[in-house]
């Protein structure tokens, strides 16, 4: 008897649910639309990346630039272009997501700088991962060209990351402290201007 009542109640609920189109849409259609839009937003935020490279001087730089372009050829959404040493920030403002600045003489123990535009955290993380792999093989690549001298066997290439706008720990809010990437002052990301919060007038 109890099974009959439970079955009848379940059948009634299923029939009501089947006739309620709004509930069916919220349960089945809306999640699919949300997931599709979210996938589109996440994929489009890191697609079409542009990496500028400041190569070393002379024929070593030309050979190393060719090797970098060949190594990153498999990244379909990544564009690699050469940037002049004095035009790093100008290239970032012109649309590049990051610029890899190689020293004039590459080799073990050298310091490589990665300058990121900073307004797209997803693009910044993706470029940092790609550049870290490139930097790990720079001593071997620098000695691979025919005109390049072999790199020293010991040591590693250091990578220094900086941002044009903001940074990984930047907070844009108002405070009376000084303006710095890790402080709590009010800074505008495009111009990095800083203004301390006004102090209340003292009461005597």
Instruction: Give the range of the structural domain holding residue 187, as residue numbers without chain letter.
Output: 169-197
Give the pLDDT confidence score for residue 54 in this predicted structure.
92
Task: For residues 130 and 190, state if they share a domain.
Answer: no
Whether pTM > 0.75 for this model: the answer is no
Residue tagged 């800074």 (tokens): 187
Q: What is the mean pLDDT of residues 64-91?
A: 86
Number of Cβ within a 10 Å radius of residue 47: 13
Task: For residues 111 and 175, state if they share a domain.
Answer: no
How far is 18 from 86, CA to CA, in rounded Å?
A: 67
Give the pLDDT confidence score for residue 1 in this predicted structure.
61
Whichever domain contains 148, its CATH number is: 3.40.50
- Nearest Cα to Cα of residue 97 among 69, 72, 122, 76: 122
Q: What is the mean pLDDT of residues 5-14?
A: 88
- Residue 113: pLDDT over 60: yes
128: in domain: yes
Over residues 141-194, the pLDDT tens digits come to: 554 444 443 443 344 667 899 999 877 654 444 333 334 444 333 344 444 444
85: in domain: yes
Residues 6+ apart with CB under 8 A from 44: none
Instruction: State the average pLDDT for the chain.
Output: 74
How far is 117 from 140, CA to CA, in rounded Å?
A: 28
């Amino acid at each position: 008897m109890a099974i009959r009542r439970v079955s009848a109640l379940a059948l009634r609920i299923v029939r009501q649910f089947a006739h309620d189109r709004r509930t069916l849409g919220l349960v089945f259609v809306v999640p699919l639309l949300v997931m599709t839009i979210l996938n589109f937003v996440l994929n489009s935020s890191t697609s079409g990346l542009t990496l500028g490279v400041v190569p070393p001087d002379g024929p070593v730089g030309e050979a190393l630039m060719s090797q970098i372009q060949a190594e990153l050829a498999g990244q379909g959404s990544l564009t690699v272009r050469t940037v002049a040493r004095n035009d790093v920030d100008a290239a970032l403002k012109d649309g590049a997501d990051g610029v890899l600045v190689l020293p004039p003489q590459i080799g073990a123990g050298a310091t490589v700088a990665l300058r990121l535009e900073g307004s797209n955290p997803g693009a910044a993380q993706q470029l940092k991962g790609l550049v870290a792999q490139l930097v790990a093989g720079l001593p071997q690549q620098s000695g691979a060209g025919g005109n390049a001298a072999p790199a020293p066997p010991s040591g590693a290439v250091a990578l220094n990351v900086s941002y044009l706008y903001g940074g990984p720990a930047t907070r844009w809010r108002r405070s009376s402290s000084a303006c710095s990437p890790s402080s709590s002052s009010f800074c505008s990301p495009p111009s990095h201007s800083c203004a301390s919060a006004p102090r209340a007038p003292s009461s005597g």
